[in-house]
């Protein structure tokens, strides 16, 4: 099964993600270019971390308009699996494929460390079989998820919160670390699963995202 | 006619200019004077240091490219190389800490990827003034956010560094940035302008008036417009740099180019001149073709601009379109601005009119070189005398030390750096050396950066040797063999004989250390004139060292992690005393005495044995005992680090004689280890005569040391941890440094 | 022609940068600063024309502001 | 009283954010955008008084703007 990883100008976790995918039996990483539009050869799409367009305006704001994102929106509308990590999560929010926005961290500084997150949904293509607690690294300056009361109420009611921080590092509302859409096929989160796929490099809690996909696509 | 006033503005002496005029057989134009002034600056020409740098060992079986190129290259086997360099951005960082530090990182990244290497890790070595100095907090905050902001966005993990605070840096902070990259041996690119007629292509960001020397700019002759106040600060754009990296690496795979070089200090001028110089050719540059960001720029300004994120490429004739296509893909511009010529002259035209015609050798090899007078400072003997200090309560001293600016936790800093992008960081910041795996190989590299300006000040030779010894020891602690180093020599004004003496002697120390420990210096940088109002910084050579780990990665920590381990000191026991120690500086406010002498033979034997101990899994913890002495090293292995819990230690202070010296003396050549006690015989077999002195057993929640049964240190690990962890965040939140 | 677009957080949206600036000003000895809100502006140079202002408003709506948390205002500069 | 402080980069200083926004607008189909410069503003609520404007200017100089690369302007809001 082919998993496409989109490279935007300024993406810097795309190669890491492709390597993580290639570690998993049954998956093959396919590099996708932001100026292209063809998704016919892939079974799932990953929007990786980084600083697309330098994150200068708002994180993910410019990347959202790339040709590839128009295809990703259609792909998502067909109910097919899409995952956004860190900058990818920010892009998904800017593109309104996920609700809310990611604002600057509460204490205004970039933060790189391991966090514990609680897994609240295992019925998405990316979270099947995940343990209920994961330790994953974060590395972001803008991971403070915010939305208005009505949206928060709706997504909480609808069970769209997929991950919550055990100890909130950035001020995100309701400790939200990751979300899915109403259809559950689009998932976004701030922590980096692709950095936790090797016991020598800080654990393997990220592997489950990819093995989950193998099961779903099988 | 060039006037004395103009020479002064351009920091050239009458003798220097006279030489240029003789070679040219005419007066130089103002634009040419600007070019001469930057090419003959200390920064570009190394005129004061070149003679001394020649004493550094720069060759070895692994060295592929030594000093002289944009960065050094070392072969690590199986067709793979590592490429690295360190560079200072001291003055810009003092003026505008965020942008100054950011562009420092940007510059050193370009030095590495211009060689064809993909950067895989960054480190930095920082020096700030006293915490209580009104500028310090702002500088720390700005420099750290600049380094993080640039590296994080570019996508290189910043995995380590060092920070020291001392009054001598109050008016002159130091920011030395290091980057290492990897490449295949057959994919190395050089800054060469070969092939007569080949096109010279300008790529990357447009040129603005950034970084042009303020004094020269203000001169009315250079612009018909009224002089407006223009900041000369360079602003970095890590996003552009990331695109530039990808475009350059893609281009290098295409076989379309013969040479490439970043535009660093002195921008277009030095990059084009150096490329021509290395190839022995001339160049013709049509300056009006250079993409500009600002209106009304003159050839003078354009040649001296230090706008960031630009590179110069010499392509093969007829391949211009291939270059353009690749840069187009990455939304970057690529413009042909000139060609390689055979007359050895560096010519620039401006709308068809020649504005510069200077022989390349005049600007490179024939740049002035000086053997400046040296004299041992008249205060040197006096500072080497150790006054008598009365030892206080050792537990209180230890708490003071561990919460001091030089020894407290640096997590406030490195948590602002993405130290994991690249998904290869095996040992993260906070240990003796960082370890980063090389993708697609079974290798990893270990990285450390060190400097001890207190020791160098008190004795430049021993201090210089000590820096090398410490670097290699740090690498050995994670099981890595040192394969090369890069240095940054930060000193005061070399025209003062005392400073020149420090430079020459420190280089002798570095050279001796490198030779004895088989560590070639493959690249480096010199930063002189670091002084304010005649007060020089402490002499600060910093060294970044790269180690190699082949095959399976050893499981080694810098923290005790569990109870029941035997803790020992291996190597020589303290004999030296507290001269030059951190304890003397931090607890008594004194910079006095003789620093420890370095036994390089013993050092080498210790490193070899330690690497074996770590590789064979005989020890669980290895931690260098340098700064702060044995007491601080023992305290540090008890502290929590990330998921490691804190674990106490009960033991006996090793050695005999003066107790303070045994606690806080900073002798080289020793390391604290912890291991399962059943391994002791196997460990001794490897140590083969190197002393192993047992301290005690890990466990409990206190650090308790006795001396012949009498209590010496007894503190709760929680108390140590609180002092260590809270100091820097408290200070950076705006409060005074906690004591 | 030159147009300035102001983008600010909608009332009620949390402004961590504003809070931090307020804290910083109090620290600096300006305790009377009761509130700080941060915003951004963009100075655009666009082609003249009767619809220029409307076009810039569209740019703001599509890209410069995020309607989930921000509102904007367009001002033609003299 | 309400005061707005505008902070912008001095002329000639590279504005990476402005460049990125310009590129974004071109992509979006506004090729006529010739330049974009980004700035910030701060809306402060400070104690009334004759020297209020001068005090805010001091705050701007000390904290809100980075005088090495930025300039600022204070405007009293109605
Ligand atoms: N202290 C030093 N030790 C060894 N090599 C040095 C030292 N200082 C400078 N070099 C070498 O001299 C060359 C020129 O360096 P530099 O002028 O800093 O390059 P850049 O153009 O990037 O500023 C480089 O090859 C560098 O590695
Ligand atoms: Mg260079």
Per residue in D14-65, pLDDT (tens digit) is: 999 999 999 999 999 999 999 999 999 999 999 998 899 999 999 999 999 9
- The CA distance from B82 to B72, in Å, is 8
B89 among known catalytic residues: yes
The DSSP H or E segment spanning B722 is helix B717-732
- pLDDT tens per residue, range B499-513: 999 999 999 999 999
Task: Give contacts of C47 with chain D, Cβ < 8 Å.
Answer: 32, 34
pLDDT surpassing 60 at residue B223 = no
List domains and CATH numbers for chain A: 2-217 (3.40.50.880)
- Please give all residues whose CB falls under 5 A of ion ligand 2, grouped by chain where several chains appear: B 70, 111, 264
Q: What residues does ligand 1 touch, defined as CB less than 6 Å away?
A: B 44, 53, 56, 67-70, 85, 87, 111, 264-265, 487, 489, 521, 523-526
% of chain B with per-residue pLDDT over 90 = 89
Q: Which two tokens stand for residue B327?
A: 């840069």
* Per-residue pLDDT tens over the stretch A109-119: 999 999 999 99
CA C78 to chain centre: 19
pLDDT category at A202 given cuts 50, 70, 90 is confident
- ipTM of the complex as predicted: 0.93
DSSP C9-72: EPTTS--HHHHHHHHHHHHTT-TT--EEEEEEEEEEE---STTHHHHHHHHIIIIIS-TTTEEE
Tell me the mean pLDDT in the region B559-575. 92
| b/e per residue B524-563 (b: at least 16 CB within 10 A) | bbbbbbbbeeeebbbbbbbbbbbbbbbeebbebbbbbbbe
Chain B residues in contact with D15 (beta carbon < 8 A): 235
Contact B143/B151 with Cβ under 8 angstroms? no
Distances in Å between the Cα of B710 and the Cα atoms of B154, B209, B706, B707, B713 are: 55, 68, 5, 5, 10
For the CA of B525, the nearest atom of ligand 1: 8
Over residues C32-39, the mean pLDDT reads 95
Give mean pLDDT, residues B464-487. 98
- Taking only the tens place, the pLDDT of each residue in B651-669 is 999 999 999 999 999 999 9
Query: Residue C40 and residue D39: Cα distance in Å, rounded?
Result: 6
Record: contact C43-D36, CB cut-off 8 A: yes
Higher pLDDT: B211 or B453? It is: B453
Q: Which domains does chain D have, with CATH numbers?
A: 2-76 (3.30.1280.10)
Name chain A contacts of C62, Cβ cutoff 8 Å: 65
Which residues in chain D have their CB less than 8 angstroms from residue A54's CB? 16-17, 20
C-alpha radius of gyration, chain B, whole number? 26
Task: For ligand 1, atom 9, name the residue with the nearest CA.
Answer: B525
- In 3D, which of A84, A100, A90, A76 has the Cα closest to residue A156? A100
| pLDDT of residue C8 exceeding 70 | yes
- Return the exposure string of B711-734: e unless at least 16 CB atoms fall within 10 Å of the residue's CB, then b: ebbebebebbbebbbebbebbbee
| Nearest residue in C to D62, CA atom | C28
Could you tell me the pTM of the whole model?
A: 0.94
> What is the C-alpha to C-alpha distance for residues A117 and A163, in angstroms, rounded to an integer?
6
User: Which residue in chain B has the smallest CA separation from D27?
Assistant: B331
Residues of A belonging to the active site? 86, 192, 194
- Yes or no, beta carbons of A51 and B152 under 8 Å apart: yes
What six digits make up the tokens of B302? 């354009």
SS3 B67: strand
Whether B157 has a pLDDT exceeding 80, the answer reads yes
Residue of B451, B507, B523, B546 with the most ligand 1 atoms within 8 Å of its CB, for mutation = B523
Dihedral angle of Cα A94, A95, A98, A100, to the nearest 10 degrees: 30
Q: Give which of A200, A205, A158, A203 is closest to A179, Cα–Cα.
A: A158
pLDDT band of B1, cuts 50, 70, 90: confident
Q: Residue A137: pLDDT above 90? A: yes
On the question of pLDDT at B220 being above 90, the answer is no
- Whole-Å CA distances, D24 to B174, B661, B739: 37, 63, 51
Which is higher by pLDDT, B230 or D67? D67
Per-residue confidence (pLDDT) for residue B216, from 0 to 100? 41
pLDDT in tens, B616-630: 999 999 999 989 999
Q: How far is the CA of B88 from the centre of ligand 2 (A)?
A: 12
Residue B213 has pLDDT above 70, yes or no: no
C-alpha dihedral sign at A155, A156, A161, A164:
positive
For residue B524, how far is its CA from the centre of ligand 1 (angstroms)?
Answer: 5
Ligand 1: residue of B113, B449, B525 to mutate (most ligand atoms within 8 A of CB) is B525
The answer to whether B642 faces chain A, any CB pair under 8 Å, is: yes
Beta strands at B535-536 and B531-532: parallel, antiparallel or unpaired: antiparallel
Note the pLDDT of residue B228.
42
């Amino acid at each position: 099964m082919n998993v496409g990883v989109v490279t935007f100008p300024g993406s810097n976790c795309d190669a890491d993600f492709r390597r993580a995918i290639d570690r998993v039996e049954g998956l093959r990483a396919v590099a996708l270019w932001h100026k292209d539009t063809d998704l016919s050869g892939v079974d799932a799409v990953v929007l990786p971390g980084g600083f697309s367009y330098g994150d200068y305006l708002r994180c993910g704001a410019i990347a959202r308009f790339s040709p590839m994102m128009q295809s990703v929106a259609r792909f998502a509308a067909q109910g097919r699996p899409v995952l956004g990590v860190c900058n990818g999560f920010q892009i998904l929010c800017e593109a309104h494929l996920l609700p809310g926005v990611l604002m600057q961290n509460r204490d205004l500084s970039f933060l790189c460390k391991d966090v514990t997150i609680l897994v609240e949904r295992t019925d998405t293509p990316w979270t099947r079989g995940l343990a209920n607690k994961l330790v994953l690294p974060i590395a972001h300056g803008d991971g403070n998820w915010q939305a208005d009361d009505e949206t928060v109420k709706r997504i909480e009611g609808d069970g769209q919160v997929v991950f919550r921080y055990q100890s909130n590092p950035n001020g995100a509302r309701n400790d939200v670390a990751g979300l899915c859409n109403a259809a559950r096929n689009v998932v976004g989160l701030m922590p980096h699963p692709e950095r936790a796929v090797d016991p020598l490099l800080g654990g393997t809690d990220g592997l489950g995202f990819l093995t989950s996909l193998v099961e779903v696509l099988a | 006619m060039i006037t004395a006033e103009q020479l002064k503005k351009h920091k050239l002496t009458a003798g220097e200019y006279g030489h240029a005029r003789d070679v040219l057989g005419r007066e130089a134009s103002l634009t040419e004077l600007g070019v001469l002034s930057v090419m003959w600056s200390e920064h570009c020409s190394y005129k004061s240091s070149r003679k001394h740098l020649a004493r550094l060992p720069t060759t070895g079986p692994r060295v592929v490219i030594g000093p002289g190129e944009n960065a050094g290259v070392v072969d690590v086997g199986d067709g793979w190389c590592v490429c690295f360099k360190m560079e200072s951005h001291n003055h810009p960082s003092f003026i505008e800490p965020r942008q100054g530090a950011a562009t420092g990182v940007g510059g050193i990244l370009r030095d590495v990827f211009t060689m064809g290497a993909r950067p895989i890790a960054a480190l930095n070595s920082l020096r700030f003034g006293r915490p209580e100095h009104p500028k310090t907090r702002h500088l720390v905050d700005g420099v750290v956010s600049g380094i993080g902001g640039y590296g994080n966005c570019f996508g290189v993990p910043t995995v380590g560094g060092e920070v020291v605070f001392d009054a001598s840096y109050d008016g002159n902070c130091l920011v030395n940035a290091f980057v290492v990259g990897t490449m295949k041996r057959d994919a190395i690119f050089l800054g060469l302008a070969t092939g007569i007629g080949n096109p010279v292509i300008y790529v990357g960001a447009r040129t603005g008036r950034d970084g042009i020397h303020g004094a020269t700019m203000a001169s009315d002759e250079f612009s018909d417009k009224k002089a407006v106040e223009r900041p000369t600060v360079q602003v970095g754009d890590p996003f552009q740099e990331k695109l530039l990296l990808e475009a350059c690496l893609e281009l290098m795979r295409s076989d379309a180019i013969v040479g490439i070089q970043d535009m660093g200090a002195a921008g277009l001028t030095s990059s084009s001149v150096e490329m021509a110089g290395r190839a022995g050719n001339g160049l013709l540059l049509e300056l009006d073709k250079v993409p500009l960001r600002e209106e009304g720029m003159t050839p003078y300004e354009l040649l001296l601009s230090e706008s960031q994120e630009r590179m110069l490429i010499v392509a093969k004739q007829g391949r211009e379109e291939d270059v353009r296509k690749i840069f187009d893909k990455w939304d970057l511009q690529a413009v042909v601005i000139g060609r390689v010529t055979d007359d050895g002259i560096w010519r620039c035209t401006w709308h068809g009119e020649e504005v510069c015609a200077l022989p390349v050798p005049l600007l490179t090899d024939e740049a002035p070189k000086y053997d400046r007078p040296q004299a041992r400072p008249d205060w040197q003997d006096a500072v080497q005398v150790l006054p008598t200090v009365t030892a206080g309560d050792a537990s209180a001293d230890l708490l003071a030390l561990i919460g001091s600016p030089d020894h407290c936790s640096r997590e406030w800093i490195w948590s602002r750096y993405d130290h994991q992008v690249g998904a290869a960081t095996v040992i993260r910041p906070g240990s003796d050396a960082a370890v980063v795996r090389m993708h697609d190989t079974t290798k990893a590299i270990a990285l450390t950066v060190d400097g001890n300006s207190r020791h160098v000040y008190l004795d430049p030779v021993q201090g210089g040797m000590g820096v090398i010894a410490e670097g290699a020891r740090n690498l050995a602690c994670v099981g890595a063999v040192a394969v090369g180093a890069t240095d940054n020599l930060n000193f005061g004004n070399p025209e003062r004989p005392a400073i020149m003496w420090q430079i020459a002697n420190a280089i002798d120390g570095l050279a001796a250390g490198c030779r004895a420990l088989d560590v070639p210096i493959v690249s480096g940088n010199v930063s002189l004139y670091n002084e304010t109002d005649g007060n020089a910084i402490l002499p600060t050579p910093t060294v970044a060292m790269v180690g190699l780990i082949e095959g399976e990665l050893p499981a080694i920590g810098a923290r005790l992690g569990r109870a029941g381990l035997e803790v020992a000191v291996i190597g020589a026991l303290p004999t030296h005393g507290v001269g030059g120690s951190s304890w003397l500086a931090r607890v008594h406010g004194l910079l006095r005495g003789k620093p420890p002498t370095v036994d390089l033979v013993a050092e080498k034997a210790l490193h070899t044995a330690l690497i074996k101990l770590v590789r064979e899994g005989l020890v669980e913890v290895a931690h260098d005992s340098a700064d702060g002495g044995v007491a601080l090293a023992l305290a540090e292995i008890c502290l929590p680090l990330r998921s490691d819990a804190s674990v106490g230690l009960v033991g006996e202070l090793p050695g005999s004689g003066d107790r303070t010296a045994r606690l806080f003396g900073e002798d080289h050549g020793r390391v604290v280890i912890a291991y399962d006690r059943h391994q002791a015989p196997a460990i001794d077999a490897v140590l083969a005569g190197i002393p192993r002195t047992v301290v005690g057993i890990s466990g409990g929640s206190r650090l308790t040391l006795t001396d012949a049964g009498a209590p010496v240190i007894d503190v709760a690990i929680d108390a140590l941890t609180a002092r260590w962890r809270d100091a820097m965040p408290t200070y950076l939140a705006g409060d005074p440094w906690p004591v | 022609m030159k147009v300035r677009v102001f983008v600010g957080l909608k009332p009620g949206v949390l402004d961590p940068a504003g809070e931090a600036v307020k804290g910083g000003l109090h620290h600096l000895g300006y305790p009377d600063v009761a509130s700080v809100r941060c915003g951004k502006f963009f100075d655009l140079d666009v082609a003249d024309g009767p619809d220029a202002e409307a076009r810039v408003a569209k740019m703001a709506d599509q890209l410069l502001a995020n309607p989930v948390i921000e509102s904007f205002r367009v001002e033609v500069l003299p």
